Structures are given as C-alpha cells and as structure tokens.
Structure 1
Amino acid sequence: MTTLFPRDFDCPNCGTRFESYVTGSTNNLGGVTTDFREIAGGSQPDRGFIHTCDNCGFTGGSDAFEGSVDEKVSRLIAERITPLVRDERSSASRRFEYAAWIAKWRGLDSEVIGSLYLRAAWAWGDEPEVENAEGQDYLRRQAIEHFERAVEDNSVTGEHAQTIKYLIGEQYRRVGEPETAALWYDRVVAEAGHDPEQRRLADLALQQKTRPEEFLR
C-alpha cells in the first residue's frame, strides 16, 4: 500500500509556504516494467515524489527546496510555468515535466533531465483523464533526446552508461520504432563486459529486441 503524508515546503523561488504530499511508503506488488518502473499495488506513489509551489510553480523533489534559485531561472519560471500553475491544477506528469524544464535551465546533467522526462511519461500513463498516448510518446522522446546527449557527452560511464543505453532502446521500442530500438539493444549486448549485472542487462536487451515483454519476469 502506498502511503502519503502532508508536509509544508518553503519555496526557494518566491518564499511561499505551501503544503504538498510526500510518499512515506510504497511497494512493487504490481511488478516492475522493462523500463524499470516499479508498479505499486493500489495507488501509485509518483505525486509524492514531486512538488510544485502553487504560487510561482517552482517544482522539484524534496531536496530541491533546500537550495536557492538564481535570477535567470526565476525569470524563466515566471514566464513559462507560473501562468500554467495559476490556470490549472498540475498533474503528476506535468509536474515532472516542469522539474525537467527547471533542471535544464539550471544546467543539470542531461541524464538527470532525461530521468525526469521518463518519470513524467510513467505518470502520464496513470492519469485516467488521458485518452491518447501522444503526450506520453512526446515525454518518452524527450527522455530519449536527453539520454542520448548524456551518452554522446560521456557524462555517464561504466555499468550506468549501459543502463542508459538500454533505456534509450526501450523508449524507442515503446514509441513504435523497433528498428532504432534494436540498434541500441545491440550496443548493450556488444559492449557488455564480464560483470554479472551487465550480462543480465545484455540478456534483457536481447529479449526486448526479439520477444519484447512489458514486465520483468
């Protein structure tokens, strides 16, 4: 069972104190997807992982509220996000997308930005009011773009780089581009070393190329 509890946050951008809900506990009783999302039994924990100031729209995980916001980022928040949060209640997927924007404006690593877009895509699929996959595909493609940039920049290395390459392939598969996905799966297989974890990842990449599954077995 997923449990959420209320917590007050002080916005580092505008100084507003607001209440959000934080995930206290969750589970993976619903299984783990082949892009490594743990599915909880019952309600999903995503909205408790991301928080948005309801005055200005500053968004991030709990640790993001412990820092400061520079003038450039504050201006972009005011221009791009504040009008949106004042017009509507932001869904979990939208909030992860806001966090990705802010991470980009702050110059954070491409992998961090890509991970936020991937979380946005995951949360999109849980929203009952969403009737099509176009928005989710857009978010997955944003994750691909930033993960690819992280690989090109060599900002991810070793076993972690292999995981990112696998995730790129898996996102291409999930947006309906199996040929491009296969190229990334092949890289994971070809570049796997002798480490047991890399070998397991290579086996998973081969499975997803030839007989894809939606959940890990």
Structure 2
Amino acid sequence: MANLKPVYNSKITCPVCDKNIEVTKVRSKSIRLIAQDEDFCPYYEECNPIYYEAWICSFCGYAAHNSVFEDASFMDRKLVNEKITPKWSSRSFTGERDIEQALDAFKIVLYNLVIRQAPSFEFARVCLRIAWLYRYKGDADEEKRFLRYAYDYYQKAYSNEPLGGGKMDEYSCIYIIGELARRLGEPEEALSWFERIISAAGQPEKKQKILPRLLENTREQIQMVRQAMQTGKRSV
C-alpha cells in the first residue's frame, strides 16, 4: 500500500456563496510537534498544520481562519459579496503548500478581515501566524512587523472583547501580550502583563482558571526579562 500524503482535501460548503468547495487538511497522524517558542510558535517534524489554517473559497474570495470559517454573519456575507467577489479572480488553494503559498493565503484572510471589520481577536490570531511564518522563513523584519500588529490587536481584544469559549482564555491572552512585549523590546510592559498572572495565581478562585504550564512559563519569562534588563538587553 502506498504511503498516504500528509494532507488531504475535504469538501465543505462556503458560508458566503453556498458553493461546494474543497479545503486542504492535515492528517492527524502527520502532526508531530517537536518544539514550541515562548509565544506558542510551533515546530513540527514533518508537515506544519499552520500552513493550512487559512481557508479560502475559490469562487467568491471569502477567506478566514479554519476555526471560524463557517461562522460568517449576514454582514460578513454582504461585505464579501459587495467588496471582494467583484474583484476576485478564481484560483485554487488546495493541495500541499510551501511557505510562500501559506503567506499568500493568510494575507488573503487578513484582507478579508479588513473588509469585514472583524473583531480584534481575529486580527491578532492571523497576524501572529503570519509572524510565525516569517520566523520560519528567517525574515526578522517582517516577523517583527507582524508581531507588532498582533501585540496591538491582542491588547484591543483583551480590553474590548469577551474572551473564552472558542477564543483564547483570559490568562493566555495576558501571557501572549506580555511575551510579545518582551519580543518587541518593551521589558517593562512585558513584566507588567506577566505580573498580572502571578497576582491572579495568588487568589484561589482565579488560580484554578490558569493552566499550570502557563503559570510555569510566566515565571520563567519574568526571570528572563529581569535578567535581560540587568544586562541591558531589551528583546530576544
């Protein structure tokens, strides 16, 4: 029997144009996490599922992160039909993707978010993934640019939008804001955010909401930031 490819195409219905489309998914057996950066950027032994998280309708141009692709609202559909579809040139995004194709797909998602005036959390999630892709590519300048976007949008999401449910929980959001501040050379801001988690961990009713690994990571990052401040190093 021939070895199965790590990715496969799956048929779904576009929530905007109602056409049957195909999206590419990664087989669970092909996902082997081998490492993770402090901002949750994952590294895989073989196939990287991040490359395939941007789903795009080849017919109407609607695009979104795969976790929310089917959640298009009436206003989302209206805006896509009015402002994206008339300018859209049909093309396929199925099959194996390289890093450039993944970046292209995520930037189409980002354009959709702008047109649809999406919540800040959606912008933050997509910008962070684009930053990761540039990190894989070794493009430090573009990585930092999109880390900055993610940092700003996560702060807006934390201040103005409900968290939890299908989104990131409150303390993971606080942590990622702190970690992005650290990476962007803002150690005082990083400490301010990290220390919110330590403060919450001192209250039993809040500590139970904090993942043990997240609390451990927070303590490690506080130590790293303080050591860096002592040596005059402001970012990674």
Does structure 1 residue 71 correspond to structure 2 residue 78?
yes
Q: Give the superposition deviation at 1:14.
A: 4.4
Q: Give the superposition deviation at 1:183.
A: 3.0
Does structure 1 residue 117 correspond to structure 2 residue 117?
no
Seq. identity, %: 22
Q: Which residue of 44, 51, 57 corresponds with 1:47? A: 51
Matches of 1:51 and 1:104 in 2, distance apart? 16
Matched letter for residue 54 of structure 1: S
Q: Which residue of 191, 194, 209 corresponds with 1:185? A: 194
Which secondary structure does the structure 1 equivalent of 2:176 belong to? helix
Instruction: Judge conservation of contact 2:8–2:26 (CA < 8 Å) in 1.
Output: yes
Matched letter for residue 122 of structure 1: W
Matches of 1:207 and 1:104 in 2, distance apart? 38
RMSD: 3.5
Number of residues of Structure 1 aligned to a counterpart in Structure 2: 203
Q: Which residue of 1 aligns with 2:232?
A: none
Instruction: Judge conservation of contact 1:172–1:180 (CA < 8 Å) in 2.
Output: yes
Change (3 A) 1:56 1:154: closer
Q: Which residue of 2 aligns with 1:206?
A: 222
Q: Which aligned pairs between 1:102-181 and structure 2 lie closer than 5 A?
A: 102-103=112-113, 105-106=115-116, 108-127=118-137, 132-153=139-160, 155-156=162-163, 160-181=169-190
Matches of 1:174 and 1:123 in 2, distance apart? 16
Matches of 1:174 and 1:136 in 2, distance apart? 11
Q: Give the superposition deviation at 1:146.
A: 1.3
Q: Give the superposition deviation at 1:201.
A: 4.7
Matches of 1:94 and 1:146 in 2, distance apart? 21
Q: Give the superposition deviation at 1:22.
A: 0.8
Q: Give the superposition deviation at 1:15.
A: 5.3
Q: Which residue of 1 aligns with 2:25?
A: 22
Q: Which residue of 32, 38, 61 corresponds with 2:36? A: 32
Runs of 5+ unmatched residues, structure 2 = 229-236
Change (3 A) 1:161 1:75: same
State TM-score, norm by structure 2: 0.68
Deviations 1:85-129 (A, max 9, x none): 87x9962234234334434544544223312221222123234xx
